[in-house]
Amino acid sequence: MLPEIRSYLDEVRSHLHLDPATEMQIVREVYTYFRDSVDELQANGLSESEATKAAIESFGRPRVVARRMYEARSKGSEIEAAISCLPHLIIAGLFISQLWRNPFWASIAFVSIVCVTLYGWWRGKPSWLYPWVGYSLLPLLIGGYAAAPVLGQAASSLFWGSGSFPSVWALLLVLALIGSSLWIIVSTTIRVVRRDWILASLMLVPLPIVGAWLLDLEQAGGVFQGATASVHQLDMSMALAFITLGVASATFVRLRQRVLKVGALLMVCTIAAAAIGHSFWGDYGFFGLLATSLLMLVFLLSPALIEAKIGHGEQSGEAWWESSMRWEEALVGHDRPV
């Protein structure tokens, strides 16, 4: 393959932000166009370099082509939008019915969410998957929260000499739990960011909301305290926040243009965070509201910074092209489902 074509296709791929199978289909298809076009132009008397230059110019700027391809492929069906909304509604349902206190129903909900996540991951990571992944990570956050008192006890005993030091095995277990949870959350985030930072933001958005909820409950006496009126009020606020996130997810899947997806996600989730903050901490003034919104905005935009650092695609350029070439044989006769 000529370096000019390879460089063009690399740039198209780096701006596609679609699932790997679709990206490969698109790049291969554009490559077949170049092959046909260059052959024809050469047959008409142009040199190879002239023909390549003309074919590339005729196709248009790679960023524009990538944007058009993204818009052609990124809009999900109504069913996909409903599936992406579903985990938010399941969690909202747990809060409305207060079944999150019931270990059986809470476990059933999370096991179902993890099963759907694994299925979607195995089926090529469709765009409806990412809210499900986010909720699958929640038990890790909650596990870390539950294990944190052991660390606090150890630190208190070590630095201030108050209380007894927990057993070494308990401490090691807690450190392993927190370490592995962090590793899973970070590595999953990086993998998702490599595809598209917006999907990582969509995935991570429940985590700060649940984190703030855990902190607020801690101040009110802990997660497993009795159900008081204020806790009921919090449950309703949390349910409303998750329903709002569900609407944001469904809208995200249905929108075609990337800029609208980013706008909808940032706006709705920031409003949801501000509303949750207001519900948790009462009337905390304009600046409190502004600070909560800004924090959420920074959190949602942080995957974009990670993407700028680590780049796009699960494989480097060279490795991707090697696997792409091998894949050509597999493409014939069995189109991959997208």
- Which residues contact another protein by CB under 8 A? 25-26, 28-30, 32-33, 35-37, 58-61, 64-65, 68-69, 71-73, 75, 328, 331-333, 335
Contact 91, 206 (CB under 8 A): yes
Q: Which two tokens stand for residue 208?
A: 């700060």
For another protein, the closer of residues 35 and 232 by Cβ is 35
Please say which residue, 103 or 333, places its beta carbon nearer to another protein: 333
Q: C-beta of 194: minimal distance to another protein in Å?
A: 22
Q: 32 or 107: whose CB is closer to another protein?
A: 32
In whole angstroms, the minimum distance from the beta carbon of 333 to another protein comes to 7
Least distance from another protein to the Cβ atom of residue 73, Å: 6
The residue among 60 and 179 lying less far from another protein, judged by its C-beta, is 60
By the 8 A CB rule, do 262 and 300 touch? no
The number of C-alpha atoms within 13 Å of 132 and in the hemisphere containing its C-beta is: 23
CA 335 to chain centre: 26
Nearer to another protein, 310 or 338 (CB): 338
Shortest Å, Cβ 25 to another protein = 7
> Minimum distance between the CB of residue 36 and another protein, rounded to whole angstroms?
5
Q: Which is nearer to another protein, 63 or 232 (CB)?
A: 63
CA geometry: angle 284, 290, 296, nearest 5 deg? 110
Supply angle C-alpha 18, 24, 25, rounded to 5: 95
CA dist 261 and 130 (Å) reads: 14
Q: Please give the Cα distance from 140 to 66 (Å, whole number).
A: 36
Q: Considering only CA atoms, which of 23, 7, 9, 4 is closest in space to residue 194?
A: 23
Taking the complex as a whole, the smallest distance from the CB of residue 18 to another protein amounts, in Å, to 10
CA distances from 231 to 49, 240, 288 (A): 71, 14, 22
